Structure formats: structure tokens, C-alpha cells
Amino acid sequence: MERVDYLSDERKRAQFDVDAMKYVWAGSRHAFEVSDRISKLVASDPAFRKDDRTMLPRKELFKNTIRKATYSWKRIIELRLSEEEAAKLRFYVDEPAFTDLHWGMFIPAIKGQGTDEQHQKWLPFAYKMQIIGCYAQTELGHGSNVQGLETTATFNPKTDEFILHSPTLTSSKWWPGGLGKVSTHAVVYARLITDGKDHGVHGFIVQLRNLEDHSPLPGITLGDIGTKFGNGAYNTMDNGVLRFDHVRIPRDQMLMRVSQVTREGKYKQSDVPRQLVYGTMVYVRQTIVADASCALSRAVCIATRYSAVRRQFGSQNGGPETQVIDYKTQQSRLFPLLASAYAFRFVGEWLKWLYTDVTQKLQANDFSTLPEVHACTAGLKSLTTSVTADGIEECRKLCGGHGYLCSSGLPELFAVYVPACTYEGDNIVLLLQVARFLMKTASQLGTGKQPVGTIAYMGRIEHLMQCYSDVQNGTFFFLKIQLT
């Protein structure tokens, strides 16, 4: 049977420098070359195959993911890959696994909230994966409302220890990836109590399992919370449950960069401003926005290639039918998603700059941009993840019935991605925070305080209120766009 390469013909029609666009997308020529080299390394290694992932039962799926993660680390060491190359390899292996939380949240939490001494003690083991960490914040009863967490960490000055306890069923840590089976340690968030006083939620480094036989330590109950949505997707991850029964940990395992508890049990703030914890938040949300671009671009790539190959209707005189991509209805649904993928890629780069900028300002005790930074990261996290989740589903529809097949890659991509609309802040809750920030900014306009940064336009509110559109109706506006 003769095979026609429709994609080749489409690629030849490009009216821009494709190689230059590759470098822009990657960030630089060097970044592209690293990505290209590592992607080919992963694609050529049969140990990383994933075509059977959606057909494996849960236990085999999880074991397969552990095997790939272990093999990935082995290859990183054998090939002496740089930190950049290692990160790319983990990305291209494309398995939601315990390593996501280890590198993406456990290590950043210690780096952002730990002291220099804690960095020296814990990070070398974490970087070498001699300990495997997760991020235990969300509880069965509270997620977005972090201040409502119920796990307690009560200081005992007689033994110089904290006593971690889960006083209720709803205080069970619930959902942390890597917690159910794999992690040896966790950054646990609990209510700090000293001398009967509640100081709010703080972070603690807690060992969960024996490093020799991997069994849970005394007083700790651990388990996997079960099967999640989708065939493969997050079922490769051991999202877990954790409960404490008066578990004792040394005082120096409280993350003390921002606040401290002395040997005598006195709570005090350090010289480091508490607002520094926002740096970690910006970092995490920046990675979420970057992930949105990657996920949406994958879906759009699948749908675009399908649209170029698939033909329906329009045959004349026995000739070939029309490529689906040539229909305006297909273009009107597909091309805005393609544009969004690029937009999210570039705003992700901007958020990297914002993270560097806010970190430097916080270290210099400059908190002036914090409200805007919080609003930007909250708003962009909500916007990009919502658009991407909806966009992946739209791409599935754009592929017709074939998009519903697991072999299209779209069902699993959707199942893997949709949790992003919930974790690290429910999207609706985050949008309400953005709205509150904008309303507060608007209420201060008459005080002489000028808005800066992304909201500087609000300082011209009087002029903007005088502006109006001369559009008479929707039809006129559409024709005007077409003509211009």
C-alpha cells in the first residue's frame, strides 16, 4: 500500500524559519540542543518504552514506574549528565512518579525554608537520592485552607523534641505523591504549639521509614489511597495517606529559616523575613505554568498532525477528500489553542524572571511587589491550567472518534493533567484572590498610591473611563476585523 506523507507537504509550506522557532521555544540554541539530544536518548532506549502503559494493572504499572525511575537515575550517573540534562531526561521519561515531588517540592521547600545548617545536613542526601522526600501538606479535611490544617507539632522542652500527632481523622495527610510506598522522608506541615500557644502552620522534616528495610517507623501509619482517574496517568504515582501517633522528632528538624523555637521552647522570628516563603510559592507556580505549555503543546501537536492527515468530504471527480485542517471550523477551534501554547511558554519564561526578581527583593527586605507577585502567580496558575485542561479535551474532540482511543495519547494526557486545576490552589479560589487584590488596588487609587508593574494601567483609570468603543453591533465588528 502506498504511503503518502501529508505532514511533509504541510511542513514545506511553513513561511518562517522553523529552526529559529525551535530555538525560541527552547529558550536558546544550547537549550534546544540539550533537549534534542536527551529526547533522542530516551526514544532510542527500549527500557523507556511506554506504549503498553495504559494496559497494565495498577500494581504492575507502579512497579514499572519504579523501574524506570531507578533506571533513569542509573543512566544519569553512567552518562555523567549535568543537572540540566538530568532534568530533561526525567521530563522525557514522562512518568508521573515520586521523583516529581522529590525534585519539585521536597528539595525546594528545604532550600527555601531551611537554615544553612539544614541545607548542609539534608540536601546532599536528597540530591543523591539516598533519601527520597515528598511534600505532606494537604489533609483529608483541608487543602486550599492551609491555615485550617489540624496536624499538630507540640514542643516538649524536657526532651528538646517536637511531638507530631494526628488528632482527628480529617487531620490525616492525604494525596501527597510518593508518600504511599516510596518516600523515606517528608516535609510535613503542622500547627506549631509551644507552651500551650498555637503559632500556626510550620514545616518539619520527618523521617517516615526505616532506611534498612523501608518499614514505617513507630507511630507512623502509611498507605496508598488507591486508584485514580484514567488508565495510566496518575495511577503510576503512589499518592498516600499519613497519620502520626505522638511521633517524636528532634527540634532541629523544624524548618527554621524564617521562625525558630529555642532550646527553652521560646518561639521567635529570625532576622530572615517571613515573606521569603513566597519565593518557594512563586517557584512552584512557575513550574506549573511551564508544564501547562508543555501539556497543551503536546495535545495541539497530536490534533494538528491528525488534522493534516485526516480527510473528510469535498471529493470531486474521484479526487482526494479535503484535509480536515483546511476547514475553517477546525482552524477556529485548533489555532487559538496553538497560540495559547506559545503564549504560556513565554509567560512561563517571564515567571522565571519574576521568581529571580522577587527573591532578590525579599532578601533585600523589599516587600513592595509581594501583593502583585501573589496575584500574578495565582491568576496565571488558574488561567493556564484551566485553559490547558479544556484545551486537551477540545483536541480530543478535534480528532473525532480516534481521539478517544488510548493510542492517540490524548485520554491519558487529559487524565494526567486535570489535577493541575486543583493542586497548589483550587483555580476558583485563586481567581477570587486575584479579584480581591484588584478590588483593593482600585480602592486605593484615590489615596495617591500609584499602582506599579502589571497593574500600572489602573493609574490611568480616569482616562480609561472616558474611552469608549464605536462598535455598533457584533456583525459590524466582525466585518471590520475581516476587512482590516
Mean pLDDT per 10-residue run, the chain (484 residues)?
75 90 92 94 92 86 89 92 89 77 90 93 94 95 89 97 97 94 96 95 96 96 92 85 98 93 91 68 85 95 95 83 92 96 93 85 79 89 97 97 92 92 90 93 84 85 81 55 46
Contact 32, 26 (CB under 8 A): yes
Answer whether 159's CB lies under 8 Å from 186's CB.
no
Nine-digit cell string for 357 = 526578581
Task: Measure the CA dihedral 446/451/457/463, to 10°.
Answer: 20
CA distance 6 to 322: 12
Residue 367 CA to residue 373 CA, distance in Å, equals 10
**311 by DSSP, 3-state: which?**
strand
- And the C-alpha cell for 109? 521547600
CA–CA separation, 65 vs 120, rounded Å? 30
Q: Which of 95, 139, 150, 424 is catalytic?
A: 424
Domains present along the chain, CATH in parentheses: 133-272 (2.40.110.10), 276-454 (1.20.140.10)
371 grid coordinates: 501583593
CA–CA distance, 231 with 245 (Å, rounded to integer)? 35
- 163 forms beta bridges with 154, 248
Q: How many Å apart are CA 155 and CA 196, to the nearest integer?
A: 9
Angle separating helix axes 370-398 and 328-363, nearest 10 degrees: 160
Enter the DSSP assignment of 105. Answer: I
- Provide the pLDDT for residue 202: 94
What is the rounded CA–CA span in Å between residue 301 and residue 299?
A: 5
CA dihedral 145, 151, 153, 154 (to 10 degrees): 110
pLDDT at residue 189 in the model? 96
DSSP calls for 24-62: HHHSSHHHHHHHHHHHHHHHT-GGG--TTGGGS-HHHHH
pTM: 0.84
* pLDDT for the residue numbered 459: 85
**Residue 265 Ramachandran class (φ > 0 left, ψ -120 to 50 alpha, else beta):** left
CA–CA separation, 343 vs 69, rounded Å? 31
* Interatomic CA distance for residues 149 and 199, integer angstroms: 12
Residue found by looking up cell 544553612 in the block: 116
Identify the bridge partners of residue 164 per DSSP, sorted by sequence position: 153, 247
Among this protein's residues, is 424 annotated catalytic? yes
C-alpha to C-alpha distance for 208 and 92, rounded to whole angstroms = 30
Identity of the amino acid at 458: M
Q: 408-426 burial, b if ≥16 CB within 10 A, otherwise e?
A: bbbbbbbbbbbbbbebbbe
